[in-house]
A and B are shown apart, each in its own frame.
Chain A
Amino acid sequence: MKLPNDRLFRLLAAFFFFLASLSPLAAQDLENSGLLHPSPDSWPTYHGDYSGRRHVSFKQITPQNVGNLSLAWAFQTNQTAEIKSSPLLVDGILYFTVPDNIWAVDARSGHMIWHYNRIATKGDHIGHRGVAMLKGWIFFTTPDAHLISLNAKDGTVRWDKIIADVDKGYWSTMAPLVIKNHVIAGVGGDLDNLPGLLRSFDPETGALQWEWDATPPAGTPNSTTGGMTWITGTYDPELNLLYWGTGNPTPVLNGKPRPGDNLYTCSIVALNPDTGKLVWGFSASPHDTHDWDAVEVPVLVDGDFHDEPRKMLMQTSRNGYFFVLDRTNGKSLLSVPYGPVNWSLGVDKAGRPIPNPEKEPAPDGRLIAPDEGGLTNYRSPSFDPATGLFIVDAHPSYSIYFAKPADGTYGWAGADYGLWGKGVIEAIDYQTGKIRWSHEVGEGGSGAGVMTTDSGLTITGDAHGNVLALATSTGKTLWHAGTGSSMQSSPISYELDGRQYIVTSSGGVLFSWALPENP
């Protein structure tokens, strides 16, 4: 398998690490080059890099020594809100969030540098995924759908702009994505019939640069609303394409008022990041009636597909399908379920699942796999280049879906009830979709994200609150630590002062793990 970008990445990373070592006092100066080629002592975007692979090149912590991994430090937020964010690491400082809150924490010691708190009296506080950064400025979304820029030195506010109108029913939980001179932010809002949108802002002034709407305005006849944009996308600098997953259509469970495929809901779209213009779109769940957002990370991989070099995009979608697309044009290479899926009649010629009309929510109920939370959800999967495995925290599950005319045509418009589910870490062979190994992580499901390392480790968590280090090649457990609550975020890793750290979160606590040092 050819992975030229990976080698290039490592060379460039080494070069930038060298440059960084020349100016150790340059503080909070994250430039675009640092986003394109993250240095080992940084985690400068939600996914760590633009590819969304959540794979790191470090080899200090290995399958052989991971048994010695121990706690470097823990940071207590002292809040009940669970940490669902991926921290950023820039110049030795971690920045992470829960709704209404940002913390800046010393990545070496875990002590707090500053804390920003802004209570939004409106908007959904369902979760928060983290911040974005450029040149010493932080970008933070709020439950009332504002985008706020703060000084990374002290958390003081520079500007405060509106992404969308909270009074209409929008909120925002996502970590923005910085590309060149664009800060790109999305929204949630499927309690109401509203179009999903992405907006790009000027990093300096906060001026609006462009808006992309996933669906037509509410009230357009025979049309859908929805297509929320609540998970950070990925970016291919060579193609200059921004990839983003969109959420479910609205009304959610009642598909009758919105005939057709409901573009671009439950879709993977490629946009020009300079203009917001759509280049291509792939409908992951045409005419969804089960709330299966296709916002899961669009992971960008360069390599061979059936012996041909390809620029690929891979997604384990909430609806239960693993998709491999040619990311230059959005054409399907592979569409195959990665767990129990009973709602489709197979896939069409374009690789799109064909929804079975008999499995739309009905007055007397329909048994549906997976459940509404989906076969996976927002936490990141990881792609391991060495093994060609796409590793995901899957959630085989069953549920019953109901909808009747009395439920109306607004918002949820039905009811669904989860019956059973469990968590399974699955390693998918991207060439075939076959599951190479699976590792059960408990009843109900885990919810932990996944990260892989060049040394052959897979870091994730189970349903009981254990952080796990698995062998990427076999899925065998090599190390664990009980943290008291299951992980609701995705692990990150970085190297600081020559020491590799793995950072995870559980409940309201951030944990930093490393090999022991003296004393």
Chain B
Amino acid sequence: MNKVKSIRVALFLASVIAGLCSVSSFETTARAARQSETPPSSTKPSNDSGAQAYAQHCAICHGDQREGNLPGFPPLLGISHRMTDEKIADLIHAGKGRMPAFPGVEDGELTSLLHFLSTAEGAQPVNASVAAPTSLSEAGGALFQQNCAFCHGRDAQGGETGPDLTQSKLVRRDRSGDEISKVIREGRSGKMPPFSFSPQEVRGIIAFIREREAESAAHPGGRRGVAVADLQTGNAAAGKHYFEGAGGCTKCHSATGDLAGIASRHEGLDLEERMLYPPNATSRVTVTLPSGKTVSGMLAYRDEFTVGLRDAKGVYHSWPVSRVHSTVESPVEAHVDLFPKYTDEDIHNLMAYLQTLR
């Protein structure tokens, strides 16, 4: 017994030292060794930022389950019944006695930590209306942070380059997960690389995305992305004027022809992106062979060396650029020509006008 007890005391002292070291801005040898020799571990990993903040800053002294370690370290379960949030925040920032100050815990992290501290024992850290995190989504969350978060954001709500997945139509409609799996495995040409995860890993990532989706739905208002309501600052009459005049849009488009009812088919950001540069626009190419014969079709490939097309029957043909003469018609180039000419007001007005075409 005594031996076990002394080991526990030693471990306890070691953890206190490690905890104090982590407050220092410079790595100490002890901490570097601790972190490099043992794989990062957290006995209760969670996707909730409050729980994470707790695990990172507090658990080492106050216990993984907030049970404390008396007499030195008080339990924090039910702390919100004993102290106001304000008081707790002051303690976190200023420290007290042997407790170090954590002035860096602020803003969102502080709020979520305080929220976590106010939850009851064993409470799931996410909103009750939301599916509880499972080990599947936790594993998926870890993979998401390593592979997806850079573009889609830590919370899947969008970031550098990548869209907000919690608002994605594909995510919303694909309840089986098949379509999401396909995108993960195959990527999106020119936009997203393919990833080779096992089926179980893909399920984990999807479970994490679902969890973020539910979380986002439970907390409206704080989300990123662009709402339809955000894009209503233009003047439709001015937009019509631009459409028919300076924009030169009527050279290719007609409000009663190809664009009739466009606002019933597309809305918001989707409509605006299509307006500024239509996706999947096609070009036509006419290739004159050395024999003088010409072949026309949809441009399927073109680099400096090879030109390829699909003919009217859908058959692919290609030639070395050096052996043929080819002429490409790309009406979509008119959209590129407009980029340096638009004012932001022009864009907002055009958007207002297109939204009248229902």
> Which residues of A are in contact with B by a Cβ distance under 8 Å?
80, 82, 120-126, 143-144, 146, 160-162, 166-167, 190-193, 206, 208, 211, 217-219, 291, 340, 342, 358, 362-367, 369, 372-373, 398, 400, 402, 404, 406-415, 417-420, 442, 444, 462-464, 466, 477, 480
- Let me know if B242 is at the binding interface, CB within 8 A: no
- Of residues 1 through 54 on chain B, the ones whose CB sits less than 8 Å from some CB of chain A are 25-27, 31-32, 35-36, 39-40, 52
The 7 closest A-B pairs by CB, nearest first: A160-B36, A364-B233, A464-B303, A126-B150, A398-B339, A419-B277, A420-B277
A166 to B276, CA, bound (A): 39
Residues in A whose Cβ lies below 8 Å from that of B221: 406
For this complex, 21 residue pairs linking A to B, each with C-beta atoms less than 8 Å apart, are A122-B142, A124-B145, A191-B149, A219-B103, A342-B340, A364-B233, A364-B348, A402-B230, A407-B224, A408-B108, A408-B222, A410-B107, A411-B159, A412-B160, A417-B273, A419-B276, A420-B336, A420-B339, A444-B190, A466-B304, A480-B305
- Interface mask (B219-240 → A, CB under 8 Å = 1, otherwise 0): 0011111100011111000000
Interface size of B by CB at 8 A reads 62
Shortest distance between the CB of A122 and any CB in chain B (Å):
5
B56-A167 in contact (CB<8A): yes
6 further A-B pairs in the complex, CB-CB below 8 A; given A80-B195, A412-B224, A480-B304 = A122-B40, A122-B145, A143-B146, A167-B52, A219-B107, A466-B303
Q: Which A residue sits closest to B53, measured CB to CB?
A: A167
| B150 engages A82 (CB within 8 Å) | no
The verdict on B211 contacting chain A, using a C-beta distance below 8 Å, is no
CB of A367 within 8 A of CB of B342, answer yes
Q: Which residues of B contact A415 (CB under 8 A)?
A: 158, 164, 224-226
B194 within 8 A of A: yes
Q: CB within 8 A of B159: which of A143, A191, A442, A463?
A: A191
Residue from A82, A217, A409 in contact with B107 in the complex, judged by beta carbons closer than 8 Å:
A409
The complex places the Cα of A346 from the Cα of B176 at a distance, in Å, of: 52
Residues of B within 8 A of A166 (CB): 40
Tell me, yes or no, whether B72 is within 8 Å of chain A by CB: no
Point out which of B146, B304, B347 has the most chain A C-beta atoms below 10 A from its C-beta: B146
Q: Taking the nearest CB of chain A, how far is it from the CB of B219, in angstroms?
A: 11
Contacting pair B146 A364 (CB below 8 A): no
* Distance of A420 Cα from B337 Cα, bound (Å): 11
Q: Do B161 and A373 touch across chains, with their CB atoms under 8 A apart?
A: yes
Is the C-beta of B104 less than 8 angstroms from some C-beta in chain A?
yes
When distances are taken between beta carbons in the complex, the residues of chain B under 8 Å from A413 are 224
Question: A124, B194: Cβ atoms under 8 Å?
Answer: no
Residues of A within 8 A of B190 (CB): 444
Residue contact B303 to A122, C-beta cutoff 8 Å: no
User: Which residues of the partner chain B approach A211 to less than 8 Å between Cβ atoms?
Assistant: 25-26
Min CB distance, B211 to chain A, in Å? 18
Question: Chain B CB within 10 Å — which of A206, A340, A398, A414 has the most?
Answer: A398
Give the chain B neighbours of A408 by CB distance below 8 A. 108, 222
Instruction: Say yes or no: A191-B153 contact (C-beta < 8 A), given A364-B348, A417-B269, A466-B305.
Output: yes
Most buried by A among B39, B223, B226: B226
Which residues of B have CB within 8 Å of A146? 36
Which residues of A sit under 8 angstroms from B107, Cβ to Cβ?
A: 193, 219, 409-410
Distance, CA A482 to CA B190, complexed state (A): 17
Residue pair B27, A191 in contact (C-beta under 8 Å) = no
Within 8 A of A (CB), among B149-177: 149-150, 153-154, 158-161, 163-164
List the A side residues contacting B339 at CB < 8 Å: 340, 367, 369, 398, 419-420
Measured between beta carbons, the chain A residues less than 8 angstroms from B342 are: 367
Tell me the bound Cα distance from A400 to B40 in angstroms: 39
Q: Which residues of A contact B269 (CB under 8 A)?
A: 417
Given A144-B40, A409-B107, A410-B108, residue A125 in contact with residue B147 (CB < 8 A): yes
